[in-house]
A = this chain, B = another copy of it.
Amino acid sequence: MQIMSELEKATPHTLNSSEMMDLAKNLWPINRSITGPGFNESLSILEKYIKIKFNRLKFKSGEKVFDWEIPKVWNIRNAYIEDSTGKKFCEFRANNLHVMGYSIPVDKTLTLNELQKNLHSLPDQVDAVPYVTSYYEENWGFCISQKERESLVDGNYHVRIESELTQGELVVGELLFPGQTKQEIFISTYLCHPSMANNELSGPVVTAELVKFISSLEKRTYSYRVVFIPETIGSIAYLSRNLPQLQKHVVAGFNVTCVGDDRTYSYLPSRNGSTLSDRVAKHVLRQIYPNYKSYSWLDRGSDERQYCAPGVDLPVASIMRSKYGEYPEYHTSLDKLGSVVTEKGLEGGFQALTKAILILESNKTYCTCTLGEPRLGKLNLYPQTSIKGGYPARTKLISNVITYSDGKRDCLEIAELLNINALEVAAISEELVTLGVLYILGD
């Protein structure tokens, strides 16, 4: 009897981590925000990678989405500060983090004191340029390292931001993969941050690779819905158009974020805490990294806030590497490809999520075909000669899978009872179906 399940055997996808890293490098320089050309350009790069076109769902500026309103579109061409000697710094072209997201146009000369009110830095991380935004209140600002800020001398400074806020559209990139049933696995990732690596490029990059993996699954039990969105406003907008369908069909889902460094693994539950997504996430992490960090719903901070909000309550959990807000480089210019996000880190994130999907695909509920124990001896699954200590571990394992296959426990529950991998339980169960020992409930 083989341990590898039919599903694993049938999966032709081969991971190439360096391709994920190349994709991340291509996306890196683009100035993304929750709207604007950077978001659209990033979608196009992703399309080339996955070789599938997105459904581009569009929401007009001013459109009401639940309690929110779609903002204007932000365009920025250039920005800098010039000191009295003519030296430019905080140049947008050098690092797009230097300009506060959604800064309105400005072109004036200020004293250092006046300028200070619109500068942002981190006193505790003197070399880091922080990532700052002001989506919903019109304002402008520059982000600068604490060290550079402290070096500024009294005098006049010319600030210039060449930007505009215009009526336009917020875009969501959506992909739908039909499966044998209309029940869905929902994958969401966000694509609205400028040049930062773990949060966020690791999310869309690993999700792009997951898309390749999903489309390579020959016999998908589940349908898949994958969305690339601007965080918060994007999930709210998407929910506002699709909530009834999502509530009807989604059986499990993951918010894919912070899956690119190689320092740890983390889990953040759904609000409910015991959905199928939570069970799968915890099982996978226990198998691949038993010391994973388990966060509470009180530590939430990404789109699960919307997907699990009261009355929405989709089964969305998060499998992460180092969680947003919990690693020092988070939301600063220090969150870089190479130093923070590595091929190994991306690969680990991808593998954990793939395992979760494979387990979901194979997580059936089985029942014995006979009453009493099946006679395993005639199937060569039990030793014909009975002697003390003569039972191989595999015989015991098969017998344990059978004894819990009572039509009530799914593979995941049995795997937890036996403290083994759910894919192993699934593989044994599949083989026992072909041997006529078990049948699949509902088939």
> Which A residues contact B (CB, under 8 angstroms)?
66-68, 100, 120, 122, 130-137, 139, 141, 232, 235-236, 239-240, 243, 271, 297-298, 300, 305-306, 309-313, 325, 330-332, 367-375, 377-378, 384-389, 400, 403-407, 417-418
Contacts and interface: CB of A to CB of B under 8 A. Distances in A.
The 5 closest A-B pairs by CB, nearest first: A310-B406, A137-B384, A67-B370, A331-B388, A236-B372
A377 B330 CA distance: 23
Contacts of A325: 388
Contact of A136 (B137, B300, B378): B378
A300 B386 CA distance: 16
A297 B409 CA distance: 15
A305 B66 CA distance: 53
B368 A309 contact: yes
Given A377-B136, A384-B137, A371 B332 contact: no
A400 B418 CA distance: 37
A400 B305 CA distance: 10
Given A310-B406, A311-B371, 20 more contacts: A67-B372, A67-B373, A100-B385, A120-B385, A130-B388, A131-B387, A133-B386, A134-B385, A236-B372, A239-B371, A239-B372, A297-B403, A300-B403, A309-B368, A309-B371, A309-B373, A310-B403, A313-B406, A330-B388, A331-B388
Contacts of A67: 369-370, 372-375
A67 B305 CA distance: 52
A307 to B, nearest CB: 9
B418 A372 contact: no
A228 to B, nearest CB: 18
B298 A418 contact: yes
Contact of A141 (B300, B310, B385): B385
Nearest to A131: B388
A407 B311 CA distance: 9
A133 B390 CA distance: 12
A307 B199 CA distance: 55
